[in-house]
Amino acid sequence: MRNVKNIAAILVLLALIGGVLYGTLSGSKEADGTQPPSTSATSTSMNGQALPNSGEKTTTPQVEIGVKEGNKAPDFSLETLDGKTMRLSDLQGKTVIMNIWATWCPPCRKEIPDMVAFYEKAQKENIEILAVNLTETESSIPNVKRFVEGMKMNFPILLDKKSNVAHQYETTIIPSSFVIDSNGIIRKVVLGPMTKEKMQEVVKSAK
């Protein structure tokens, strides 16, 4: 009877050892990469024409950062007239008119009423205006504030105190406007003042 028990115990022990060895060998095959080979980059159809592999990854070409149409708009952050800080990249997802201007500029003064009228509707349509003031050329910030209040400019006024953004965007004429789409790409560069109708046109082309 004792011999029978001993034999049964030995058989159980052998079964356990066999299970452990099988699991170890199976795991080593996966670790060694010995699974069936994956398909190649292309497969072949019935008539021999190469077909793209559905699992093949495609890469999106990198857009160059610059200030020309088709470039990724250079990012920047500036203090606003009301003491906050705004960063251009925070507005990604919106269409942006980035306008560089000054209070002493006659064409800028001519453009502002149209911009104010345009913004009343535009802000409800995921469109933003960033009015980058050439503060370094102004007599004082309080003077800019008085001008903004008098013209009822209800869009963000950014203070370019050292003309860093003006230089970054290679500005030689004011007003200059950069129409930037929801992905941060410059779609239109407009030198000189725009009418309300022109603003509607350039924004439509950027969507």
pLDDT in tens, 5-63: 344 334 433 444 343 333 433 443 333 332 333 333 333 333 344 434 445 554 556 88
Whether pTM > 0.75 for this model: the answer is no
- Compute the distance between CA of residue 194 and CA of residue 200 in angstroms, rounded to an integer: 10
Contact 133, 57 (CB under 8 A): no
- Compute the distance between CA of residue 76 and CA of residue 85 in angstroms, rounded to an integer: 10
Strand residues in the chain grouped as ranges (E): 42-44, 50-52, 77-80, 85-87, 95-101, 127-133, 157-159, 176-180, 186-191
Tens of pLDDT, residue by residue over 136-183, are: 999 999 999 999 999 999 999 999 999 999 999 999 999 999 999 999
Q: How confident is the model at residue 101 (pLDDT cuts 50, 70, 90)?
A: very high
Q: DSSP per residue over 184-197, as a string?
A: SBEEEEEES---HH
Place of tokens 């149409």: 69
